[in-house]
Amino acid sequence: MTGLKLRRLDNIDVVVNDFSAMVAFYCDVLGLPLHPHGYEPERGWAMFTCGDVDLVLLSVPNAERLGRPRTSEYHNDPAGLHSFAAQVDDLDEAVAALDAHDVKWAGETVVYGAGHVLDAVPDGPFDGIWYRFRSFYDPEDNVMHICEVHPPTSPATPTPPSTRSHR
Q: Which CATH number fits domain 9-62: 3.20.20.60, 3.40.250.10, 3.40.50.720, 3.10.180.10?
A: 3.10.180.10
pTM for the model: 0.81
Higher local confidence (pLDDT), 90 or 124: 90
CATH 3.10.180.10 domain locations along the chain: 9-62
Which whole number is the average pLDDT over 48-71?
86
Nearest-CA neighbor of 134 among 72, 81, 82, 60? 72
- Region of 154 (left: φ > 0; alpha: ψ -120 to 50; beta: rest) is beta
- Region of 75 (left: φ > 0; alpha: ψ -120 to 50; beta: rest) is alpha
pLDDT of residue 158: 55
Which whole number is the average pLDDT over 111-137?
92
pLDDT of residue 140: 92
pLDDT of residue 82: 75
pLDDT of residue 166: 46
